[in-house]
Structure 1
Amino acid sequence: MSQSSLIPASEFSTAPTMAFAGVRLGQLAASHAPDLAEVVAAGRLDEDWFATTPPAQQMEANIAQRLDSQAAGTMAPFAIIDTSAGKAVGATAYLNIDAANRRVEIGSTFLAVAAQGTGINPAAKYLLLRRAFEVLGCYSVAFCTHWHNEASRAAIARLGAKQDGVLRNHKYDPATGTLRDTVIFSILPHEWPAVRTQLEARLRRHGRLG
C-alpha cells in the first residue's frame, strides 16, 4: 500500500504553510482581507467581465465563503505571501476537491498587478503542484478558466498543463447575462517531473533560485 493511500480525505482540504523561492502559501484567514482588498482595488482586478475576482468591498464575505467551503471539505484556501514584503499579494486554492478519486483543481486565484511577472505565480503553482503530487498523491490536477480569458489560458499552458476539452454553456453568469464556455486543463503524475523542472527554470530566470 502506497503512503499516499494512507492520507485521510480531510487532509485534502487543509492549507498548511509552504514556502519556496520567496513565496509563502498559508491558511487564508479573515486577517488577510485588508491586504487582499487593497490588491484588488489597486489593480482593478474585478473589472474583467470574464473573471471571478471578488470586489474589494466584498473581500471579507468572499474569504468567509472560502472558509465555509473548506469546512465542507471542498476547498483548501491559501493566501499568497510575498516574503520580501511580508504581506498577502493574492489568494489561491484547491477547489472541487474529490479526495476519493485523488483529484483537485487549482483555481480561485488572483494576484496583485505589481506581483505579476515577478515569479510569484510560478512559485505558488510549484508549491501547490508539489503538495498535490508528492504529498496528497493526486492522480490528476485540473485547471479551469473562461474561454475568453486568453491570458489565463496562456498562463496555464505555460505551466505544461494539457487541454482536456471545453465544456460549452457550462455556467450562467447572472451579473452579465452570459453563458461561460469553460476550458479544462490538467497535469498528470507522470508529467509532474517535467513541469517541476520547467517551473524551476522559470524561477531561476526571475532570480528567485540560485
Structure 2
Amino acid sequence: MTWPAPVSLKGTHVHLVPLAITHSNDLSAAVGDLHQLWYTTVPSPENMRSEIERRLALQKDGQMTPFAICTPDGRAVGMTTYMNVDPINKRVEIGSTWISKDVQRSSLNSETKLLLLAHAFEVLDCIAVELRTHRLNAQSRRAIERLGAQLDGILRSHMVVANGTIRDTAVYSITAAEWPAIKAGLLGKIST
C-alpha cells in the first residue's frame, strides 16, 4: 500500500485532489511560460500528460503521492507531491510543486502548504517534512523561509537539470516540534 495514501484535502481557497489524467487540459492551460524557467523543472503544455503519467507511475511504485492543486470550483492550477517518502522514519518531502502565476503569492499557495503540512504532521504522524529548491531560486527560497522552515544545508552539485547545468539544492525542513508555531503563522497569513 502506498504511504502516504492518495487523499483529498480541502480548504477555503484550495482543494488538493489526487492527480489524474483528467487534469491535463487545465494544467496545460495553467502552466503558461513557467516551463521556460531554467532553475526549476515545470512541464511544458505539450508534455503535461506524460508528466502526469510519470507521477502516477511513481505513485504506483510507492515513491510519490501526487496532487492537483485546484481552485474551489475544481479548476486545476498546479501540481504538488509528497515525495522522497520514508515510511520507516515518518518523513516526506513536499516537492515538485508549481502553481500558475495568477495564484502565486496568494492565500491559495499558503493554504496548499497548510493542508499538506497538517496532513503530514497530524494524520501521517511525520517527525519532519522537507522542502527543497535550487540554491539560486530566490523566490522559492523566500517562500519556504516565510513558512518558518529551517535551512538544513546545501547539497552541492546535487543534480543535473534539464538545461545541462549542475544544481546545488537548498534543503529545508520543519520538525514536528516546530509545527504548532508554523501552523499558527500559516493560519494568520490565510485569514488576512
Give the TM-score range, shorter chain.
over 0.9
| Residue in structure 2 matched with residue 51 of structure 1 by the alignment | 40
Structure 1: runs of 5 or more not aligned: 1-9, 206-210
Provide the residue aligned with 1:7 in structure 2: none
Which ranges of structure 2 fall in alignment gaps of 5 or more residues? Answer: none
Q: Which residue of 1 aligns with 2:68?
A: 79
Find the counterpart in structure 2 of residue 141 from structure 1.
Answer: 129
Q: Tell me which residue corresponds to 2:141.
A: 153
For residues 177 and 66 of structure 1, what CA distance do their matches in structure 2 show? 22
What is the CA–CA distance in structure 1 between the aligned matches of 2:80 and 2:20, rounded to whole Å?
Answer: 12
C-alpha distance in 2 between matches for 1:75 and 1:141: 14
**Segments of 4+ moved more than 4 angstroms:** none
The percentage of aligned residue pairs carrying the same residue is 42
1:202 to 178, 181, 189: 189
**TM-aligned CA deviation for residue 143 of structure 1:** 0.4
Query: Structure 2 matches for 1:7-18, cutoff 5 A?
Result: 10=1, 12-18=3-9
Structure (1 or 2) with the larger CA radius of gyration: 1
Letter matched to residue 98 of structure 2 = F
- Alignment partner, residue 4 of structure 1: none
Matched, 1:176 2:163: yes
For 1:21 and 1:142, the matched residues in 2 are separated by: 25
TM-score by length of 2: 0.97
Q: Is the 8 Å Cα contact of residues 21 and 203 (structure 1) preserved in structure 2? A: no
Secondary structure of 1:12 counterpart: coil
Go from structure 1 to structure 2 and tell me whether the alpha carbon gap of 1:98 and 1:73 turns closer, same or farther (over 3 Å shift).
same
Cα distance in structure 2, aligned partners of 1:20 and 1:86? 12
SS in 1 for 2:7: coil
Higher helix share: 1
Post-superposition CA distance 1:10-31 (Å, at most 9, x none): 3523221111122111100000
Is the 2:13–2:107 contact (alpha carbons within 8 Å) kept by the matching residues of 1?
A: no
Which letter does structure 1 place at the counterpart of 2:11?
F
- Is contact 1:146–1:183 with CA below 8 Å preserved after alignment? yes
**C-alpha contact 1:95 1:107 (8 A) present in aligned 2:** yes
Q: CA RMSD in A?
A: 1.0
Residue identity in the other structure for 2:159: K
Asked if 1:40 corresponds to 2:31, the answer is yes
Deviation readout 1:83-140 (Å, 9 max, x if unpaired)? 0x43111110000111111010001111011111221111011010001000000011
Give the alignment's TM-score, normalised by structure 1. Answer: 0.89
